Structure formats: structure tokens, C-alpha cells
Structure 1
Amino acid sequence: MSEREAIEVSRGEVFLAWLRSEPGAVCLILLTVFLACLLGIYTRPVGFLASIWPANALLLGLLLRLPRAAKPLGWLAGAVAYMLADLLTGSSLFKAAILNFANLVSVGIGYAILARLPPEMIRLRRPASVFHLLTASAAAGAGAGLVGGFANPILFNSGVLSGWTFWFSTELVNHLAFLPVVLSVTPFQVGRLFDGPLLRRGDLLPAVVLFLSGFVAVLVGGPGAIAFPVPALLWCGLVYPVFPTAVMTLMFGIWAMAVISVGYIPSLAIPKGEMALVSIRLGASLIALAPIMLASVMQSRNELLGKLHDLATRDPLTGADNRRAFLESAQEMMLKGRLPLAVLMLDIDHFKAVNDHYGHAGGDAVLVEITRRTRDCLRTGDLFGRLGGEEFAIFVPDCSQTVALQVAERIRQEVARVPVALQDGRSVPVTTSIGMVLVTAAGVTGLDGLLAEADAALYLAKHNGRNRLETRILGVTGS
């Protein structure tokens, strides 16, 4: 990492730390809700309520993701943002108070349902998360609808039932569209767009197909055109984590509402009437839930596979590669011919005495600490595994004799530098003996032969007094 990149990452970490503090979270709520309200207000038809109203979903998501904001000051910031947006755009104080009371009721109900869930469930990382999301969104919409049913005759000279229906459907649609994005987003990292490594070129294909599906839907038209992007959305759910999938579904929802209301899809027969439009909006939103649910299932599956992979390849105590994983990885590197290379065998000196004097818990603590110290001395790409007991092996590819000796000696000195501290306050002085074989030419011997040579050098190191390094070189003169 360059110095400039390190500075940018440091600034990003400072900014994130500020957002997680109560003042930062409150400021974020105030600004986000205010801007979201302006978006909804300026895109609504004159004399009507907004169809796109992301403010409630964004406020709910921020309260759930930033626990320090879920305090009276955070709720007050949200209420102030609501009122400011309405009053600054010409609404009367009475109208603004009624509308924003409905908004706060909606957010409060959603928060009461979702805040009790575990963090992994809130962040949509479990298959059941979507069910809770739908339940909370429906309950929040129903709560807002109760206020809207009473407010509709007063503010818009319309019926109670139509007010409840519009408020309920609008809240449900907006929650299902915007809330998954806020709940699933991860703290940003410099140079990262999605949660994980930068997208490879092949990873962009589902997003491209989704865009093309929308374009084809506009060209073809007809009643089924609205469903053209569904296969691409499901593909996104299979390939992407939850957050980018949620972004794709949000784009689909906005696209669907836009092309229907503006009439971009030819020959799309839309029944007249408020209930018909509500039905279409709800249908498009529920379609968008499927890829999010699929992404949650895939993410949960991938996490489970990762745990199973660790169980199969990692030593459960130290976290180093187990014997099988180390041998397989080392064999692959040997087949690639990454010469010269070195194989090291390490053994903790007098480890049986450590177990006898400090107990097996003390011995385990020594193994864990020695593993950490050894790993800190290795280069990126070096292999490190625990072969059994107190015996470890290291595979160092692409190294000269000088580099291999430096790595081995650095490990020996680091292990012996300070005693290992135990939880009971005692300390254990530890040293290690190392046997190393350096290979300078291909075809000298196989991996098993190299391990045997390194083990013989290790035996010599122990025989010559321990806490030392013994080296053998293969390939110079055929010896």
C-alpha cells in the first residue's frame, strides 16, 4: 500500500469512527432525512402525497445500523428534518405536523419490530431476514395508514379507506425498496465498491444483463414486459452479496414505477383506478424481494462453506494449515517449479516439560503464541502448517539462500525473544530448533524427501544443543 493510499484509508477510518459516535450519527440522520424528504416532496404531483418517499426507510435503517443514534437526540433529529423539509417547501405547520406524525409512527413501529433481532438478521445475512423485513414493512405501513386514514379527509378531502390504502402501499413499497440497501451496506473501504474484492469483469455480467432486460422490455412492451428483468435479478442474487443485490432491486423498482407511470412500455394495458395502480406497485416490490432472499441464502451458504473449509484445512487450536492442507499446497507450489525454495521443520524445545509443568492449557497457549510469532516472520505467499504436536513446517518458495536463512533465523530469534505470558500470570521461556533444506535445482527429490531432509536437519539441531538452525542444500552438486 502506498503512502497516499494509507492516508486515504486512515481518513476513511476516522470518518467512520465519527459516524459511529452519537454526534456523527445525529448529524447523518439530520442531513439524510432532510435530503430524502426534499427528494420526495419535489417529485410528488401537486396536491398529492409523494409516491417515492425514501425518508422513512432511510431513518429506520440508520437507527438500526447506528445504535448510538437510536436515542432521543437521534429521533429528535429525524423529526426536525421532517418538519424543516415540509415547512421550507411551503406546507402549513398543521399539515406538516400531521404528515410527519404519520412518518414517525411508521418508523417507530418498524424499529420496535426489527430492533429486537440479532445483528446478523438485521443486516439481511440470514434466509429468514427477508420475512422479518416484510413483516416490519407491512406493520409500519399499516401504522402510517391508520394516521393517513384520519388525515386524508382533513388534508385532501378524500375517503378514510383510500387514505389508509395509499399510505399503507406507499410505505410498504418504499420500505421494501430502500430499507434493504441501508441494512445490508457495509462500512466502505478505499478502493472498494462491493462487499469483498473488486468486481472481476465476469462479475459485471448479471448487472449488464439486468440493464439489457429493461431495455428489451421497453422495446417489446406488452403485459409481461414488467417481468423481463426477473431472471437477471435472480442471477444477481446468485452472484452478488446482499448489498449490491439490494441496489439492483432498488434500481428495478424505480425503473418499473417510472416506465409504468410515464408510459414507456408500449401496449401495456394498465387498468384504470387507484387500486389497480396500488396492485401493480405492490407486485413490483414483492418481485424485488426474491433476489434479496436468494442473496441472503447464498451468503449464508457461502459463510457455512467457509467454516467447513476452515474445519477441513485449519488446525483448530493454532489456526495454521493442518497437515493435509499444508502438504497439498506445498505440492502444488513444487509442481509450479518456483525455485529456489526452502522447506523448514520447527520443533518447540522441551515442550513435554512445558506441558508437565504448566499443564495442557499452558502448552496450548504456548502453541498459539508461537504460531502467531512465526506467522509474523513470514512473507506473503509462504506456507505454514502444524504437522502434529509441537512440530511445524514452513514452505518458502522463490527464495535465495540468503533470504531463506534470514527467514529461519528471524523466526528462531522472535520465538526466544520474550517468554510466553499465561493467563494466570506466569511466563514460559520458549525456544525452537529449526531444520532447513534449500533446493536450488528441479528434480532433486519430492516433497516427502524434502520434509525428511528438513527433519534430519532438525534432529541435528536438537542434538547440537537446541535453539539453533541447521541447514542442508540440495541441487548444487547433486548432494
Structure 2
Amino acid sequence: MSGSAAAPASLPRPKGHDWTVLAARLKGGSRAVVVLGCAVFIASLIGLASRHAFSVSFWPANAVLVGLALRDRRLFCVSGWSAAFFAFIAGDLLFGNGLSLAMSFAACNVVGTAVAVSLLRLLDRRDLTLRRVHSVLRIVSRLLPASLVAGLCGAALVHFQFHGSALQAMMTWPASELVNYLIVLPAILTLPVPWERRDTPFARRGSQDWKPGLFLAVSCAAMVVFDGPGSIVFPLPALLLCALTYSIPSTTLMTMVLGTWCMTMIGLGYMDIGQDMSIPRMVVSIRVAVAFLVLVPLTISSAMEVRDSLLTQLRKAADHDGLTGLLNRRAFEQRMGDRLGSGGSQVVLWLDIDHFKAINDRYGHLAGDAVLKSFADTARQCCRATDLVGRMGGEEFALVVEVSSLAGAKAVAERLRDAFARRSVMWNDEPVHATVSIGAAHVDRGVSDLPELISQLDGALYRAKRKGRDRVEWLAESDAFDCLHAFG
């Protein structure tokens, strides 16, 4: 639409803050395009340097372009592809290629990467970050046709620009594209960056263990020292161990380093695998071997991530109440014992919602569930993330909150009681009010008899109910002392 055209009535022009937001988005998109162009240019220089120095070249630029376009959807636009196109041309010109040839190579790269991005964008975000069992296979199934399209473009380029064999180009070009993608793309898609939030953190037990990484480094050295036809698989056992031990980003970074290392060592002739690299089918064979070398640990790491995620979900389901999301009785008492056994000034609250049966009888059990969830929300808001909040069963709850003194403990108990009393749940357009009775104890020493403390708190809770409800009853100091002992 031209600047003089009037905006439709249903789409008013942005005003005030809207213009600020739009300007900020455009500015952020422009910066992203510049970053994309610079990254593709640098990656192109690396690839062109390897093409001049190696018999087996390494071209990371296309994988860099695809990875950045997938991570930032703003780059999948005309300006993004234009920046990449001119970055490819600039690299070729810097290495002395003519403008016509540089534009031809750039066109091949842009077409192949555009197909790759278009196909990969159809995948679930979890597949792109390798968080599903068959993620790697799904990614490869999209990269294969993109590599074939790039091969067709390359074959046409070889035929018309160099009068070479299009068949030979179709044999070598797709294999080169695929291995470059598998080496570089997973790392770009999974490595965390400070400005991106992840809904699921990558973490795995043993991630601080340095021995698998050392094993991989030793294997890579052995691959060069004891070179030969089978040396390329020397690092595979170490890679498998790393995939079982480290997180997905760490594993993808290791596979990228290893794949680059293999291509570099073979290309420079530091590793003799007993093949003539001047024969195209031998080059294809090496590229496919490197592709499978990185494919196996990526697949295993992806499966391990799924397993770890399922285990985390199972632990959460086993430890948390399904209705309120709070800790269940078993998990709460276990963590409560650990917390109180270590000493420190803390307040323990045992709570029960007043007249809960009457709420269920009058409004129904769904309304009662809404009241339970309302109290759970109130308790979370009154506590820190490090405090313990649990549902003991029915309408009974418990909390362990770290405090600095007895006065602080009383303030916590009263704040929670008052906050819930002021809160209401709307049910069928009618507010449902509820209060809570609390049995409380201030603990400043290690607990030696947890069941006795719970029994005393339960007694204090029912004293609060007998005295009128919506109140806090504190454990007598003499009763609390019988449950405590000082450490050391």
C-alpha cells in the first residue's frame, strides 16, 4: 500500500505507544538482518578458505543461515534473504571470484537454504531443539530434499559455468550439503542464548562430569595418530558416552567440533584414511561417514532428553497434588523433615479450611475444589519459592517458611490468615468466602521427633477451631521444646 492511501476504518493507525512498539520491532528486525548478514559472510569466508586449502571442503554458511532463520522467524523475509545473498557474493568477491560466478553460487545457496527453512518450519519446535524421540530423523527427512534441490542447482551451475559433469555434481553436492547441515545446524538450533527464554531447561545428571569429554579428546588425537580406513570411528564410543552424559546443547557442540575436526584433518592430509580424495565417490563416502558419525550421538542425546523429561514429569506427578499443584503429604513430610532437621529459624503452620463441608453441601464439590485452589494460590503468594507448601489431604494444608525471629513467624501466620479471609471465589455469580484455622510453631533448632511435632501442631489446629476459627493457635513453648534438640 502506498503512503498516500487511507487506512481502512477497521484498522486504525497506531498511536502513541503503538508507534513506539512498532518502531522498536522494526529496529530489532533490522539488527537481526545485519547480524544474519555478518554471520553468513564470516561462515562463507571459512568455507571458501577450506575450499582453497582442502581436498574435502567444509561449508558451514548454509547451515548458519538456516539455523538463524529458524531461530528468529523475522529473518524469513525478503530483507533477510537479500542480506544472505549479498553476504555470499561479498565472500566470493573477496576470494577473487568474478561477479557473475559469485552471483551464481549465491543463488544456489539461497535456493537450497530457502527450501530447507521452508521444510523445517513445518516441524514442531520441540523437533528443532531435539526434544522428541525421532527429532533427528524428522530433521534429516527435511534436509534430504533440500540437499537434493541444492544439488540440482549446483549441477546446473557446474554444467553452464564450468562445462563440467552435472552427474558428478549431483553425486557430490547433496552429500556435502547434508553433512554440513548435520555438523553445524543442531548446535545453532539448540545452543542457548541470553536473550531467549526456554520453556524447558536443558539439564542432565552428570553434566559436570569431565571424563567423557576427556575421553572424546583422547579419541580424536588417536584418530590422527593411528590413522587408517577405520580411524574415523575411533571417537564414536566417546561420543556415545557424551550423549548419555551431557545435555543436548553440549552434545551438539561436541559433534560440531568433532565433525569440523574430521573434515579439516582429512582435508589437510593430516589423517590418511587410505582413500584417494581426488576421486569424487571417495569424497562422497567420507562425507557420508562423517554425517553418520554425528547422527548417532545426536539421536541418542535426543532420546535421553525425552527420557529425562518424562522422569521429571513422573517425579512431579508423584510429589504433587493433582488439584492444587502443591506438594502432597508424602513429599511434604519428607522435605519438611530434611528442612527442620538442619536447624534454622522457621515457622511451621498446620492449616484447615473452616466449614469446608458446609461449602461443599451448599455450592457443590466443584465450588469446594475452587476454594481449595484459591487457598493454594494465596499460600504461594504469601511465600517464597524456597518455602514448603503442601496439601495434607482434604481441606488440610501445611507450610514451612523460613523466618528471622518469632515476631517474623507470627507476621507470616497472620498475613496468610488475613489474606485468605479477604479473598473470595465467584461461583454462579455468588461470592464464596472461607477462612482458615492455623496451628503454628516457631522452630529455631533441629527437630528430633517429627511425628510428635505434627501431632502437637494438629492439636493446636483443633484448639483454634474450638476457639472460634479464623485464628492462629501457637504451640506452647514447653510442648515445642519436647520435639526439638539443638545440634552440635
From the superposition, tell whether residues 54 and 474 of structure 1 become closer, same or farther in structure 2 (CA, over 3 Å): farther
Check whether the contact 2:440–2:474 (CA below 8 A) recurs between aligned residues.
Answer: yes
Q: Distance in 2 between matches of 1:178 and 1:430?
A: 58
Supply the RMSD in Å over aligned alpha carbons.
3.2
Could you say which residue in structure 1 is the equivalent of 2:166? Answer: 160
Partners of 1:251 and 1:282 in 2: CA distance: 17
Partner of 1:369: 374
Question: In the alignment, which residue of structure 2 is the partner of 1:9?
Answer: none
SS in 2 for 1:345: strand
Gaps (5+ residues) in structure 2? 1-23, 484-488
Cα distance in structure 2, aligned partners of 1:117 and 1:317: 33
2:205–2:245: 8 Å Cα contact kept in structure 1?
Answer: no
Return the TM-score normalized by structure 1: 0.85
C-alpha displacement of 1:463 = 2.0
Partner Cα distance (2:182, 2:69) in 1: 17
Task: Give the secondary structure class of the aligned counterpart of 2:349.
Answer: strand
Structure 2 distance, partners of 1:290, 1:409, is 58
2:4 alignment partner in structure 1: none
d(CA) in 2 for partners of 1:205 and 1:423? 59
User: Paired residue for 1:257?
Assistant: 263
The TM-score normalised by the length of structure 2 is: 0.83
Matching of residues 100-179 of structure 1 within 5 Å:
100-179=106-185
Checking the alignment, whether the CA contact within 8 Å between 1:166 and 1:278 is kept in structure 2 is yes
Supply the AA of the counterpart residue of 1:208.
Answer: L
Matched, 1:44 2:48: no
CA displacement 1:107-135 (0-9 Å, x = unmatched): 12222322212111122111211112222
3-state SS of the aligned residue for 1:387?
A: strand
SS in 2 for 1:116: coil
* Pairwise CA distance, 1:452: 1.8
Please give the residue correspondences for 1:202-213 in structure 2 after superposition, counting only pairs within 5 Å. 202-213=208-219
* Per-residue deviation, 1:189: 6.9
Matches within 5 A, 1:458-473: 458-472=461-475, 473=477
Conservation of the 8 A alpha-carbon contact between 2:243 and 2:301: yes
Partner of 2:37: 30
Task: Kindly provide the amino acid, as one letter, of the partner of residue 471 in structure 1.
Answer: W
Partners of 2:243 and 2:306 in 1: CA distance: 12
| Matches of 2:115 and 2:158, distance apart in 1 | 21
Deviations 1:163-199 (A, max 9, x none): 2222212111111111111222334379x9x955799
Query: One-letter code of the match for 1:437?
Result: A
Higher mean Cα deviation, 464-473 or 365-374?
365-374
Correspondences of 1:16-415 after superposition (within 5 Å): 22-45=29-52, 51-188=57-194, 196=202, 202-265=208-271, 268-272=273-277, 273-334=279-340, 336-338=341-343, 342-379=347-384, 381-396=386-401, 400-415=405-420
Show the counterpart of 1:437.
441
- For 2:69 and 2:47, locate their aligned partners in 1 and report how far apart those are by CA, in whole Å: 20
**1:424 and 1:172, CA in 2 relative to 1: closer, same or farther beyond 3 A?**
farther
Q: Distance in 2 between matches of 1:73 and 1:355?
A: 61
Tell me how far 1:39 sits from its aligned partner.
2.4
Gap change, CA 1:316 and 1:199, over 3 Å in 2: closer
Cα drift, residue 149 of structure 1: 1.1
Contact 2:336 2:388 in 1 (8 A): yes
Residue pair 1:148, 1:164 contacting (<8 A) in 2 also: yes
Alpha-carbon distance, 1:379 to partner: 4.4
Pick closer, same or farther for the CA change 1:39–1:421 going to 2, 3 Å. farther
Q: 2:128 and 2:445 mapped to 1: Cα distance?
A: 56
Partner of 1:448: 451
Number of equivalenced pairs = 457
Instruction: Please list every run of 5 or more consecutive structure 1 residues that lacks an aligned counterpart in the other structure.
Output: 1-16
Secondary structure of 2:51 counterpart: coil
In 2, Cα distance between equivalents of 1:104 and 1:350: 69
Q: Is the 8 A contact 2:155 2:165 kept in 1?
A: yes
Q: Percent identical across equivalent pairs?
A: 37
